[in-house]
């Protein structure tokens, strides 16, 4: 069992948990993920590692409540434990010695963008962070990003906080202002990653994205997480989850991620959560 | 007097039209009377060809003689002296190509039903004995086994019997490998696998789940932790796809994913959360045992039409005859000599049909099977909403890419000395699908057994 040492509600729908998993904490690197199972009847779901503490032996996960499993997970309290927690899975992000980087996070994707920003900032790179949210009330990790970036730009779709607009508008204006990035890291909803890649493509700026396909085992066995990259089948769990965004087929990813959407919304009526379990 | 009947005592089974709607075991097993009657068919011949046909050399005529006498526990003891997983092997071994394929009785008539008798003994023991195996005295030497599938479990069991302190590192949340994620409940009840694993634990084998070696720990770190030898039984790996248009559509699964959702994650039970598509018509592409398992699961999950699409003929199918027969009885439709060329989707990107082309057989190829050739212009569409690709796997890269000095062949399979199962690293042994590519449970067990013997010899030399 893997004990929850800390639980923090970051906004109405986003929760942070620190999980005791010393073996994983010892090895974890930015860009890698874990797979967890809440209980015997639960699904295995992948979550990207948001942070880790090698001394304390903890791994931090940040998740948005989007479906049955994240709902179930969100009900757990400090001191409760998860049945299964396996990792660190996937390849660590390869920053390729980039000196000037723009890290872009969208919504809960900021949780995954944060360790990348932190790792590059701590290794001496100049790091601009653009963190985009729908609205002021769901802004997360502002202080953490401040401490891990040269410049932090927050955008909100409705203008209630930071600059009004999308992360792509901000990125475009930073590029227009003469910033020469040798790497852009974009993590967030699939459409956001797709449009960031369209902004950087004409400038030939290398753009890494972290993909979140449907996954079961996460170790290179089931093939559920296959994505098309440069016209080839790649498996996000062993070949990724980071890929060159200019080669990813985002439309296919969006389509495949919707496989169980109908079933999930249909099943809510007899979900275990609503039966008092 | 031996029983000179030319045919095996038939195996009681669930009616095909009942069982294709449930996940209970298809074959329900011999009674004691049936087992004794069948055992009496063994001639106890001198040269024992059956034993040589068994990858783990079960002392077959000896255990069958005990069954004939009604001494079932003694029979079980004889089996387990060389085979750690008899309840599993009795169910899933391809006996027709192994022990039973060599049986003298098979020359005229049917061979002795060695597999059914092995299963009977194991089930009898599991039902009647509450005794757990005891933990042998430790010799203080630690061995790490990577992967808790058939190869790893066998290797661990044999080493534990000799007093080694064995730790199995399993990537999944439960040990068993293909026995739990791949082979369905109706062919191999998971309670049986669980029992075999509990027996290993009683013998002192420690099982650490959720440990992906190559990520959380490397092979070299295992040596640093004090393990003196390592066995790699990490299994087959990533599923292959055909590379035809439409494999990205919603409703296209690999057999590994479909079976994992169904068997390991229990998607067929309402109170488990893992979803699976509710299909009406399913095409399973491939002709092996895995394809049969996927097709039979799809039927049980409620699909009305389930097709096997295979590019060669019935004779060339690699699946066991018994599995093909069971699948046919259950209403699976065989579309042999057909090959998919394209999967067709609807506006929402969901599968709506698979386009196939007819094939004919030419001269034998490298595999000795007749090569399928496309009949030009014979394209046709089969309306389906789900496609399951069951055309093989390629080895998992996690261990080989993180272990210096571990050589692999062109396909990525670990290279071993076939006599000792030693890899190109001293103290590191390997077996099962990680070495051979996708093969059978019993071959993996045979490799695990040989590796255990070699590890014992290797570590006995060190003191």
pLDDT grade for A264, boundaries at 50, 70 and 90? low
Compute the nearest-CA separation of B41 from chain A (Å).
43
Is the confidence at residue A77, as pLDDT, over 70?
A: yes
Question: How far separated are the first and last CA of chain A, in Å rounded?
Answer: 19
Contacts of B301 in chain A (CB under 8 A): none
Mean pLDDT of A45-60: 95
With pLDDT > 70 as the criterion, what percentage of chain A qualifies? 95
CA gap B122, B116 in Å, rounded: 10
pLDDT grade for A266, boundaries at 50, 70 and 90? low
CA gap B254, B267 in Å, rounded: 16
Mean pLDDT of B362-386: 91
User: With 0-12 CB in 10 A as exposed, 13-18 as middle and 19+ as buried, what is B178?
Assistant: buried
Is the confidence at residue B411, as pLDDT, over 50?
A: yes
Are residues A221 and B238, on separate chains, in Cβ contact within 8 Å?
yes
Is the confidence at residue B336, as pLDDT, over 50?
A: yes
Is the confidence at residue B350, as pLDDT, over 80?
A: yes
Q: Is ipTM beyond 0.85?
A: yes
Omega of the bond leading into A88 within 30 degrees of 0 (cis): yes
Can you tell me which residue has the tokens 């996927």? B294
pLDDT grade for B365, boundaries at 50, 70 and 90? confident
- pLDDT at position A275, please? 42
Is the confidence at residue A255, as pLDDT, over 50?
A: yes
E-assigned strand segments in A74-198: 81-82, 84-89, 100-106, 126-133, 151-156, 163-164, 183-187
With pLDDT > 70 as the criterion, what percentage of chain B qualifies? 100
Q: What pTM was estimated for this model as a whole? A: 0.92
Are residues B173 and A37, on separate chains, in Cβ contact within 8 Å?
yes
**Cβ contacts of B424 within 8 Å, gap of 6 or more:** B405, B406, B407, B415
Mean pLDDT of B305-330: 94
The angle subtended at Cα B154 by Cα B151 and Cα B159, nearest 5°, is 125
pLDDT tens-digit map of B188-205? 999 999 998 999 999 999
Of B212, B248, B253, the CB nearest to A252: B248
Mean pLDDT of A183-194: 95
- pLDDT at position B236, please? 85
- pLDDT at position B71, please? 97
Can you tell me which residue has the tokens 């640093």? B224
CA distance to B30, B75, B129, B281, per residue, from B59 (Å): 20, 10, 22, 46
Candidates B217, B120, B189, B198; CA nearest to B157 is B198
Residues linked to residue A187 through DSSP beta bridges, in sequence order = A105
Of B217, B254, B398, the CB nearest to A223: B254
- pLDDT at position A276, please? 38
E-assigned strand segments in A25-120: 33-37, 45-53, 58-64, 81-82, 84-89, 100-106
pLDDT tens-digit map of B92-135? 888 998 999 999 999 999 999 999 999 999 999 999 988 888 89
CB of B101 closer than 8 Å to CB of B95: yes
Neighbours of B18 (CB within 10 A): 11
Chain A nearest-CA residue for B249? A256
Residues linked to residue B343 through DSSP beta bridges, in sequence order = B354
User: With 0-12 CB in 10 A as exposed, 13-18 as middle and 19+ as buried, what is B443?
Assistant: buried
Tokens of A214: 């449907």
Chain A nearest-CA residue for B402? A91
Can you tell me which residue has the tokens 């653009």? A130
CA gap B129, B121 in Å, rounded: 11
Mean pLDDT of B233-246: 93
- pLDDT at position B84, please? 85
pLDDT tens-digit map of B149-174? 999 999 999 999 999 999 999 999 99
């Amino acid at each position: 069992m893997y004990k929850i040492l800390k639980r923090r509600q970051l906004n109405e729908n986003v929760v942070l948990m620190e999980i005791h998993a010393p073996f994983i904490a010892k090895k974890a690197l930015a860009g890698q993920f874990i797979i967890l199972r809440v209980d015997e009847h639960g699904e295995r779901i992948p979550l990207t590692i948001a942070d880790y503490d090698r001394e304390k032996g903890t791994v931090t996960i940040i998740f948005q409540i989007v479906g049955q499993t994240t709902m179930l997970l969100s009900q757990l309290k400090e001191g409760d434990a998860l049945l299964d927690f396996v990792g660190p899975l996937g390849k660590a992000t390869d920053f390729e010695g980039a000196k000037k980087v723009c890290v872009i996070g969208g919504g809960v994707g900021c949780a995954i963008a944060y360790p990348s920003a932190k790792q590059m900032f701590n290794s001496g790179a100049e790091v601009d962070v653009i963190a985009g949210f729908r609205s002021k009330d769901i802004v997360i990790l502002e202080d953490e990003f401040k401490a891990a970036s040269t410049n932090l730009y927050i955008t909100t779709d409705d203008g209630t906080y930071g600059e009004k607009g999308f992360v792509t508008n901000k990125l475009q204006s930073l590029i227009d202002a003469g910033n020469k990035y040798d790497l852009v890291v974009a993590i967030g909803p699939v459409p956001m990653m797709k449009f960031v890649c369209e902004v950087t493509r004409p400038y030939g700026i290398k753009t890494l994205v972290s993909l979140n396909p449907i996954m079961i085992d996460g170790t290179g066995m089931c093939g559920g997480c296959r994505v098309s990259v440069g016209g080839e089948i790649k498996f996000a769990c062993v070949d990724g989850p980071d890929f060159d965004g200019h080669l990813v087929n985002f439309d296919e990813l969006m389509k495949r991620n919707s496989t169980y959407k109908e079933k999930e919304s249909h099943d809510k009526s007899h979900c275990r959560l609503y039966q008092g379990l | 007097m031996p029983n000179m009947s030319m045919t095996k005592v038939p195996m009681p089974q669930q009616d095909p039209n009942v069982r294709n709607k449930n996940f209970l075991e298809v074959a329900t097993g011999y009674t004691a009377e049936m087992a004794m009657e069948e055992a009496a068919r063994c001639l106890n011949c001198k040269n024992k060809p059956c034993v040589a046909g068994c990858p783990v050399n079960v002392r077959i005529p000896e255990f069958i003689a005990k069954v004939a006498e009604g001494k079932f526990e003694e029979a079980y003891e004889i089996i387990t002296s060389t085979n750690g997983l008899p309840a599993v092997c009795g169910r899933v071994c391809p006996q027709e190509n192994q022990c039973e394929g060599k049986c003298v009785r098979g020359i005229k008539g049917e061979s002795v039903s060695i597999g059914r008798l092995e299963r009977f003994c194991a089930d009898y023991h599991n039902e009647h004995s509450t005794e757990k195996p005891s933990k042998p005295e430790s010799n203080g030497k630690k061995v790490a086994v990577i992967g808790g599938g058939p190869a790893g479990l066998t290797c661990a069991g044999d080493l534990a019997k000799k007093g080694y302190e064995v730790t199995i590192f399993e990537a999944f949340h439960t040990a068993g490998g293909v026995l739990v994620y791949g082979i369905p409940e109706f062919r191999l009840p998971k309670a049986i696998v669980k029992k075999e694993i509990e027996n290993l634990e009683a013998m002192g084998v420690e099982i650490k789940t959720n440990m992906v070696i190559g990520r959380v720990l490397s092979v070299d770190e295992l040596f640093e932790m004090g393990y003196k030898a390592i066995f790699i039984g990490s299994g087959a790996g990533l599923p292959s796809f055909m590379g035809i248009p439409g494999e990205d559509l919603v409703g296209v699964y690999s057999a590994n994913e479909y079976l994992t959702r169904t068997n390991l994650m229990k998607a067929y039970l309402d109170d488990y959360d893992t979803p699976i598509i509710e299909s009406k018509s399913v095409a399973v592409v491939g002709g092996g045992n895995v394809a049969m398992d996927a097709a039979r699961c799809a039927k049980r999950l409620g699909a009305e039409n389930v097709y096997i699409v295979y590019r060669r003929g019935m004779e060339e199918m690699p699946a066991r005859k018994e599995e093909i027969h069971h699948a046919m009885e259950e209403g699976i439709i065989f579309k042999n000599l057909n090959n998919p060329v394209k999967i067709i989707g609807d506006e929402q990107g969901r599968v709506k049909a698979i386009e196939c082309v007819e094939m004919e057989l030419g001269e034998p190829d490298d595999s000795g099977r007749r090569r399928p050739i496309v009949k030009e212009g014979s394209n046709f569409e089969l309306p389906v909403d789900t496609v399951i690709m069951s055309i093989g796997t390629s080895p998992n890269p996690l261990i080989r890419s993180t272990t210096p000095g571990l050589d692999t062949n062109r396909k990525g399979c670990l290279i071993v000395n076939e006599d000792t199962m030693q890899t190109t690293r001293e103290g590191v042994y390997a077996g099962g699908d990680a070495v051979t590519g996708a093969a059978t449970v019993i071959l993996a067990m045979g490799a695990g057994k040989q590796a255990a013997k070699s590890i014992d010899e290797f570590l006995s030399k060190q003191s």
